[in-house]
Amino acid sequence: MRRSVSITGLAAILILGGAGLGAVRKSSVTLTQDKASTAEVKVDNFSFAPASLTVAAGTTVTWTNHDDIPHTVVSTDDAKMFKSKVLDTDDKFSFTFTKAGTYPYFCSIHPKMTGKVIVQ
Amino acid sequence: MFEKKNDELLHDHNHDGIDRRGFLKCMAWAGTGAFCVMQGGVLRSYSLSCLSQMDKAGMKGELSFVQISDSHMGFNKPANPDVAATLKAAVDKINALPAAPEFMLHTGDISHLSKPEEFDTVNQILKAAKPQDVFYVPGEHDVLNDDGKQFLERYGKGSKGSGWYSFDKKGVHFIGLVNVMNLKAGGLGTLGHDQLEWLEDDVKHLKSSTAIVVFAHIPLWSVYPEWGWGTEDSAQALAYLKKFGSVTVLNGHIHQTLQKVEGKVTFHTAASTAFPQPAPGKADSPGPMKVPAEQLKSVLGITDVKYVQGQQALAVVDSTLA
């Protein structure tokens, strides 16, 4: 029984033809999720650039340390929200901001280094 | 003007009162091996080379120790790809001092990234130093990732809180403070309420004639707040020390020697054994200052401190590794 069904199915696909097959292919390939959004902050010369970054909710922000000294990225208002390990030169840290709001952060090693992410 | 030959600095210079020129001349001599002693506003200098000929009676009850700082073991970029070698050079310098210091103070940033192997390497290198007693306070590079747990395990025996403590040597009271924990965004170094309470209690019963030495990583005076070079609540700490006739504050963190005298308090910062940093405001940021390789040792150094009983101020002498 199954064999005849599968043969029938195969025949059906062949009958549909190229365009049909193409259409079937397309819909089976199309992803339903949105394109992931990302943003970058460069850490260099004892500063975060840009110091103020505005992103849409759901954006993943990646900090990259280009300085020759280690730094960290720690949420000012709630250290439990995001707190990187120590980042040496070329190390990265990423965090996805899901809720709208303003999120100030700083480097816990050099606390004069501050920045903020504004999530809209 | 003053040659590097120690032999030329034979005489005893007496200046009447603190005169900036005289003080600066003395600071220049410090790099070539002279003692400058400030005593009640009078500046005296003695050449290291003729210490052996000095009146021994005048140097009775002498206590001497060395301060090293900011070894940043693990740092490997310009201007210094080999901080282990320069730390070893500092140990050689200490071992070559005419009178072996009794102990050492390390004012923090022992490691660069708080890695166990970095602390291990420093311990290994310091094993070759004549003074085997070393007293540590942490720098911000020593308490990364674990809120200072590793630092306390290694160096915090007998200390309170995040590693503060005090001890006495030949009548001089030493106080090790920690001002690199719980740093707040946009802030400076901080001592915190618990440590300040402990400090008040620690010195309460000491006679005002007791010489005090305070050592901590970040400067306890405002060297340059824009770069975080200061401690928010140090004024409170200094208030507890107001009654004492002689207070010497030894710090690190800024990788250059600076000195400031305020009444009976002498503040002094040490050079790093790893890399120099720019003078306040002289660069965009306080990062490692790059210098030609042949100049590196001349911007790194150690600090030799002597206390002579009966003299108010401690003699603090910096020398470079060159």
- Summarised one tens digit per residue, pLDDT across range B193-203 is 999 999 999 99
Strand partners, B219: none
For B6, the domain range is 1-54
Residue B5 falls inside a structural domain: yes
Chain A: residue whose CA lies nearest to B81? A68
Same domain, A45 and A3: no
To the nearest 10°, report the CA torsion of B125, B252, B108, A47: -120
Same domain, A21 and A42: no
Nearest to B107 by CA among B53, B170, B37, B177: B177
Domains contained in chain B, number: 2
CB atoms within 10 A of CB B11: 10
Same domain, B186 and B255: yes
Same domain, A26 and A78: no
Its sign, for the CA torsion B76, B82, B88, B91, is: negative
Same domain, A47 and A2: no
Same domain, B261 and B125: yes
Chain A: residue whose CA lies nearest to B290? A68
Q: What's B308's domain CATH number?
A: 3.60.21.10
Could you say which of B77, B186, B288 has the minimum Cβ distance to residue A112? B186
pLDDT band at B234 (very low <50, low <70, confident <90, very high): very high
Same domain, A44 and A26: no
Instruction: Please tell me the distance in Å from A109's CA to the nearest CA on chain B.
Output: 6
Same domain, A13 and A47: no
Same domain, A19 and A61: no
The enclosing H or E element of B196 equals helix B193-203
Tokens 């100049």: give the residue: B295
Say if the Cβ atoms of B185 and A106 lie within 8 Å. yes
Does residue B73 sit at the A interface (CB-CB below 8 Å)?
no
Domains contained in chain A, number: 2
Same domain, A56 and A107: yes
Pairing of strands B212-215, B172-176: parallel
Could you say which of A70, A109, A111 has the minimum Cβ distance to residue B187? A111
Say if the Cβ atoms of A112 and B77 lie within 8 Å. no
- Summarised one tens digit per residue, pLDDT across range B3-25 is 333 322 333 343 333 344 444 44
Q: What angle do CA B252, B37, B212 make, to 5 degrees?
A: 55
Q: d(Cα B235, Cα B220) in Å, to the nearest integer?
A: 8
Phi-psi map region of B312: left, alpha, beta (phi>0 left; psi -120 to 50 alpha): alpha
3-state class (DSSP) for residue B14: coil
**pLDDT score of B308:** 81
Same domain, B106 and B226: yes
Same domain, A73 and A20: no
Nearest to B248 by CA among B109, B22, B63: B63
Residues of chain B with Cβ-Cβ distance to A68 below 8 Å are 77-78, 287-288
Same domain, B69 and B12: no
Residues of chain B with Cβ-Cβ distance to A106 below 8 Å are 185-186
Same domain, B125 and B71: yes
Same domain, B166 and B32: no
Interface of A with B in 75-114 (CB under 8 A): 76, 85-86, 88-89, 104-106, 108-112, 114
Strand partners, B103: B65
Same domain, A42 and A25: no
Same domain, B45 and B75: no
Residues of chain A with Cβ-Cβ distance to B188 below 8 Å are 111-112
Residue B314 falls inside a structural domain: yes
To the nearest 10°, report the CA torsion of A20, A25, A27, A28: 140
For A47, the domain range is 38-119
Does residue B181 sit at the A interface (CB-CB below 8 Å)?
no
- Summarised one tens digit per residue, pLDDT across range B57-76 is 444 447 899 999 999 999 99
Residue B59 falls inside a structural domain: no
Its sign, for the CA torsion B240, B242, B247, B248, is: positive
- Summarised one tens digit per residue, pLDDT across range B146-170 is 999 999 999 999 999 999 999 999 8
Same domain, A67 and A12: no
Say if the Cβ atoms of A110 and B112 lie within 8 Å. no
Same domain, B158 and B196: yes
Residues of chain B with Cβ-Cβ distance to A85 below 8 Å are 144-145
Same domain, B44 and B154: no
Does residue A72 sit at the B interface (CB-CB below 8 Å)?
yes
Q: What are phi and psi of B7, to 5 degrees?
A: -55, -30
Residue B3 falls inside a structural domain: yes
Residue B86 falls inside a structural domain: yes
pLDDT band at B307 (very low <50, low <70, confident <90, very high): confident
Same domain, B19 and B145: no
Chain B: residue whose CA lies nearest to A112? B186
**pLDDT score of B99:** 82
Does residue A70 sit at the B interface (CB-CB below 8 Å)?
yes
Same domain, B105 and B174: yes
Same domain, A90 and A63: yes
Same domain, B92 and B176: yes
- pTM greater than 0.90 (yes/no): no
Q: d(Cα A48, Cα B31) in Å, to the nearest integer?
A: 38
Mean of all residue pLDDT scores within chain A: 82
Say if the Cβ atoms of A111 and B144 lie within 8 Å. no
